[in-house]
Chains A and B, each alone.
Chain A
Amino acid sequence: MAADVTSVPVEETAGPGTGSSRSGYVRYVGGKLGGAVVSLLAVLVTGFFLFRLIPGDPVKTMTGGRPISTAQLAEYRREFGLDLPLWEQFTDYCGKALTGDLGTSYQFRAPVIDKISEALPNTLLLTGTAFVLYTALGMFLGTRSAWRNGSLSDRFNTGLALTLYSVPSFWLGLLLIIVFSVGVGPIPGLFPTGGMESGDKEGFAYVLDVAHHLVLPVVTLVAVEYGQTLLVTRSALLDEMGSDYLTTARAKGLRDDLVRRRHAVPNALLPTVTLVFVNLGRTVAGVILVETVFSWPGLGGLFYQALSVPDLPLVQGLFLFFAAAVIVMNTLADLVYPLLDPRVGR
């Protein structure tokens, strides 16, 4: 009976509202896509000027201050198009970047875009696995923490999350390698120290081998990233817990567990969804470091190789790629969000 009463006004408001909300959604999508295009162009422009207008000659930076003959210098300048007028360099660069030509890596003597597409699947495997695990873990623990706000387990979970959040991811990775790969005292090395495969496996054995290599990098990423999700979920749910409709739900005689699962959590998770995507930028940082530490043959490892030379075309290409990827993911989240929460995008 009580459930019927609460459902009536919802249907009433949904009825006449659908027509206007659909056109509202189209306008919302248009705005978000327009914003994304502007952001991508801004990334393109930044990528150009960052690597040309900064004090210091890029060629000198590239040669790391080693003595270099004037002829060689002129050769490098011509190779990277640095002898052209700036405006010509810019149009040339934009035209090429838009067709997927990000230049040639100085270090590998191969097109940057080829190096990126080689490494991308490996990064997606690592990041995807970690992303699913840390989001699920963060949301689960965050919900439990908020529901028992102030309890011992809440304080422990929040404290642990904050501590792991303050730990440098590369350091945690190095420690895990020492403990679980090299072995300390009686503990033998259980996992490989780095890389993605041992190289001699095929079929199902290959899958197992990659999974074996995947364990430590994923554990590191999850450990440093889940805290953020936990804290966001926790505060979103705490905000929600003061709401009247929860009191109503309890007054209806629903069990505590049901109130949490059916009423509070779905609403609290909505802001968490956007924040998870906004934090992707942070995850990229974690991926770069973890791949560097574990010699994972992905984009992050490639980035490290590029910047230690420094291989400017590759650094620039990866900068463009990372920034564009994060913007695209964020836009996707923005587009999905109004479907989850009808209050947005009207």
Chain B
Amino acid sequence: MTAPPVAGTGPRALAWQRRRRSAVRFWARYRTHRAGLVGLAALGLFALVALTAPLTVGSDVSSVTDAPGQPLESPSAQFPLGTDQFGRNLLGLVVWGARVSLLVGLLAAVLSVAIGAVVGITAGHFRGAYGTVLMRVTDWFLVMPTLVLAIALATVMSRSLGTVILAIGVTTWPTTARLVRAQTLAVESRPYIERARALGGGHWHVMSRHVLPNVMPLVLAQTTLMVSSSILAEATLAFLGLGDPTVVSWGGLLQDAREAGAVSAGDWWYLVPPGIAIAVVALAFTLCGRAVESVLNPRLGVAG
């Protein structure tokens, strides 16, 4: 692996070899973090469940018209987690809800990190008035109570998954922007950036060819961590009744449970599974993100 093969000699082939080698090195070091491996395994399991849900439970599991059971049944052999107030199979709903929760979590995290990366790179690259103003805005967002902002956004807009993704994405980017800007400043102070500029590299060239590849690992780690908080935020918005009422998600299930009086009736089987699913997925993403972070920046020493 270490000896460079002679086969590919063009610059593109060399770049790919370098990338492959660093991926292998990354994996070798990631493997030493047991918590990260556990998180990765849990994520794989949940992804499998979510992707195969159309085959295992089918989309009619969320239909209220021809529900298979009686309302609010206790767990039984037929319905391992009981039924909801419409008589729908709760196990099926939790499995089906994984699709929306994971999808919204991923998309919101990608949106948030994308905004953060663009703001961070440009603020770090164009110093002066533009960068200063941008960082002022970032700091303002950083201090703002994120959920209050997201709730206000979701309240005034129509109830849909797009709204939820947008509300989470545009309120949670500032942390990423700060981290990316710091990294951009560090990269741009290196001599090879000066060399690129001297050779005629413009702003776009420097940002896309030199800064972006260097902040990419950070962006990946940040995305992994952000998915976890996005899933929690999605569940929170759904629980507050701000999600899309027509789709099944874990937060929406918890809201249904509360409205159906599952709390005062002590129907724990209605409440426990969606909450555990949220917590396990959020924790798994956090564990992976911390493992990635400590592989990339061993000095932090965060992951045990």
Contact = CB atoms under 8 A, between A and B. Distances in A.
Interface of A: 35, 38-39, 42-43, 50-51, 54-56, 58, 61, 149-150, 154-155, 158-159, 162-163, 165-168, 170-172, 174-175, 177-178, 182-184, 193, 231, 235, 238, 278, 280-282, 284-285, 288-289, 292, 303-304, 307-308, 310, 312, 315-316, 318-319, 322-323, 326-327, 330
A304 B257 CA distance: 17
Interface in B255-284: 257-258, 263-266, 268, 271-272, 274-275, 278-280, 282-283
Interface string B130-151: 0000001000101111111101
B48 to A, nearest CB: 20
B173 interface: no
B140 A184 contact: no
Contacts of B6: none
Contacts of A238: 301
26 contacts: A51-B152, A54-B156, A55-B158, A61-B156, A155-B304, A165-B286, A166-B278, A166-B283, A168-B236, A168-B239, A168-B251, A168-B254, A168-B278, A168-B279, A174-B257, A193-B264, A235-B301, A278-B143, A281-B147, A285-B146, A292-B240, A303-B151, A315-B155, A318-B148, A319-B148, A319-B149
Contact of B236 (A51, A55, A285): A285
Interface string B157-187: 1100000000000000000000000000000
Given A168-B275, A310-B155, A174 B304 contact: no
A174 B271 CA distance: 8
B147 A182 contact: no
A166 B157 contact: no
B275 A175 contact: yes
Nearest to B35: A159
B77 interface: no
A318 B155 CA distance: 13
B148 to A, nearest CB: 5
B279 A167 contact: yes
B89 interface: no
Closest 9 pairs (CB-CB, A-B): A285-B147, A171-B275, A166-B282, A281-B145, A166-B283, A284-B145, A182-B266, A54-B156, A167-B279
B300 interface: yes
Contacts of B236: 168, 170, 285, 289
Contacts of A184: 266, 268
B147 A284 contact: yes
Interface residues of B, number: 50
A320 to B, nearest CB: 10
Interface centre among A159, A174, A231 (most CB of B within 10 A): A174
Contacts of A155: 304
A322 B147 CA distance: 11
A308 B241 contact: yes
Contacts of A322: 145, 148
B7 interface: no
A322 to B, nearest CB: 5
Contact of B304 (A51, A150, A307, A318): A150
Given A50-B152, A165-B286, A315-B155, A171 B278 contact: yes
B140 A42 contact: yes
A171 B254 contact: yes
Contact of B240 (A61, A174, A304): A304
Contacts of A166: 228, 232, 278-280, 282-283, 286
Interface in B12-50: 35
Contact of A163 (B136, B157, B283): B283
Given A174-B254, A178-B268, A285 B304 contact: no
A79 to B, nearest CB: 18
Contacts of B151: 288, 303, 307, 315
B153 interface: yes
Contacts of A312: 155-156
B248 interface: no
Interface string B288-304: 00000000000011101
A327 B142 CA distance: 10
B286 A327 contact: no
Contacts of A150: 304
B279 A319 contact: no
Contacts of B142: 278
B235 A285 contact: no
B287 A162 contact: yes
Contacts of B254: 168, 170-171, 174
A154 B254 CA distance: 33
A122 to B, nearest CB: 18
Given A168-B239, A235-B301, 4 more contacts: A50-B153, A155-B304, A168-B236, A315-B151
A330 B283 contact: no
Nearest to A154: B304
B283 A54 contact: no
A38 B140 CA distance: 9
B242 interface: yes
A54 B143 contact: no
B36 to A, nearest CB: 12
B148 A288 contact: yes
B279 A51 contact: no
A158 B254 CA distance: 27
B283 A162 contact: yes
A146 B162 CA distance: 42
A327 B144 CA distance: 7
B283 A182 contact: no
A119 to B, nearest CB: 15
A56 B146 CA distance: 22
A339 B61 CA distance: 61
Residue among B156, B275, B278 with max Cβ neighbours from chain A (10 Å): B156
